[in-house]
């Protein structure tokens, strides 16, 4: 009974622009229409009454040939639009009332990203915004420039390993696991190995060879390394390069 009484509430003004008028718009049930002049143009706004939400165009223009844009605006039951959650569910069904609170839950194998609740506000919107349900499986992994990964399973819990092409070394995590739809670390990068081993490395190695006692030699080596400011990463690849050089000499 309420709806029959509340129907057809419509207020319209048409404001004259120069000498002509914009035609009267067809009424939209359960709405209020407000027209005003903005920078010489007539602008019309539909506002749905309490308990209804707007579907279609909210703001219309009356253009230079005194016509409104073609519109299919409607005010539908429910103060806020019906909630949507693909691959999940929410706590209510049916039209929402102002200040209604709903909670969200994702189906098995999906993880909720965003807020697990939302509330219908006076202005016909939901806040916080609706979450999404994201698959716990990962998207196919990407390849870094000059590198590749091994592994063909991107499902939850799977692992993949990254490798670099010859003459490149990997910076970042080599092993990655699919955890709740995301790879466990950022994509590693492949960096070009510098042609010659760094002189700092050579110096440290010499310091190592100078000593007969292994402990002293290591201490000497570490000291030299510390002074050079070389990172472990740089040291590792300098040594690898040295190894490759020695191998090449033996063949």
Ligand X SMILES: *[C@@H]1O[C@H](CO)[C@@H](O)[C@H](O)[C@H]1NC(C)=O
* Span interacting with ligand X, options 13-21, 69-77, 134-142, 193-201, rule CB under 6 A: 69-77
Tell me if 177 contacts ligand X by CB under 6 A: no
Binds ligand X (CB under 6 A): choice among 16, 63, 107, 174: 63
Q: What is the nearest approach in angstroms of ligand X to the Cβ of residue 90?
A: 10
Count of residues touching ligand X (by CB under 6 A): 22
Cβ within 8 Å of residue 18, ≥6 positions away:
none
Binds ligand X (CB under 6 A): choice among 16, 143, 153, 231: 153
Give whichever of 29 and 45 is closer to ligand X, judged by the CB atom.
29
Dihedral Cα 87, 92, 98, 99, nearest 10 deg: -90
Q: What is the nearest approach in angstroms of ligand X to the Cβ of residue 20?
A: 13
Binds ligand X (CB under 6 A): choice among 20, 69, 139, 175: 69
Q: How many residues does the chain have?
A: 251
Which DSSP string do the residues of 216-227 spell out, in sequence order?
HHHHHHHHHHHH
Contact positions with ligand X (CB under 6 A) in 1-20: 7-8
Tell me if 103 contacts ligand X by CB under 6 A: yes
Residue entry with tokens 């510390």: 226
Tell me if 92 contacts ligand X by CB under 6 A: yes
Binds ligand X (CB under 6 A): choice among 9, 10, 29, 58: 29
Binds ligand X (CB under 6 A): choice among 16, 143, 155, 184: 155
Give whichever of 96 and 164 is closer to ligand X, judged by the CB atom.
96
Binds ligand X (CB under 6 A): choice among 45, 119, 125, 158: 158
Contact positions with ligand X (CB under 6 A) in 208-237: none
CA distances from 217 to 140, 206, 214 (A): 47, 10, 5
CA distance 70 to 121: 29
Tell me if 56 contacts ligand X by CB under 6 A: no
Q: What is the nearest approach in angstroms of ligand X to the Cβ of residue 159?
A: 9
């Amino acid at each position: 009974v309420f709806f029959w009484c509340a129907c057809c509430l419509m207020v319209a003004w048409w404001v004259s622009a120069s000498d002509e008028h914009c035609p009267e718009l067809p009424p939209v049930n359960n709405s209020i229409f407000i027209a005003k002049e903005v920078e010489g143009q007539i602008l019309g706004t539909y506002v749905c009454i309490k308990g209804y939400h707007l579907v279609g165009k909210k703001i219309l223009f009356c253009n230079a040939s005194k016509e409104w844009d073609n519109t299919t605006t409607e005010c539908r039951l429910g103060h806020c639009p019906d909630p949507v959650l693909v691959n999940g569910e929410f706590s209510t069904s049916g039209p929402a009332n102002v200040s209604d609170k709903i909670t969200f839950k994702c189906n098995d194998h999906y993880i909720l990203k965003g807020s697990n609740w939302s509330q219908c506000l006076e202005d016909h919107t939901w806040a916080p915004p609706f979450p999404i349900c994201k698959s716990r499986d990962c998207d196919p992994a990407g390849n870094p420039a000059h590198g590749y990964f091994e592994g063909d399973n991107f499902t939850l819990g799977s692992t993949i390993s990254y490798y670099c092409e010859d003459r490149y070394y990997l910076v970042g995590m080599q092993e990655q696991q699919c955890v709740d739809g995301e790879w466990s670390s950022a994509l590693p990068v492949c960096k070009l190995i510098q042609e010659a081993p760094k002189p700092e490395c050579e110096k440290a190695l010499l310091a190592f060879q100078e000593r007969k006692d292994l402990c002293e030699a290591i201490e000497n080596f570490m000291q030299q390394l510390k002074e050079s400011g070389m990172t472990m990463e740089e040291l590792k690849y300098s040594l690898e390069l040295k190894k490759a050089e020695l191998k090449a000499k033996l063949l």
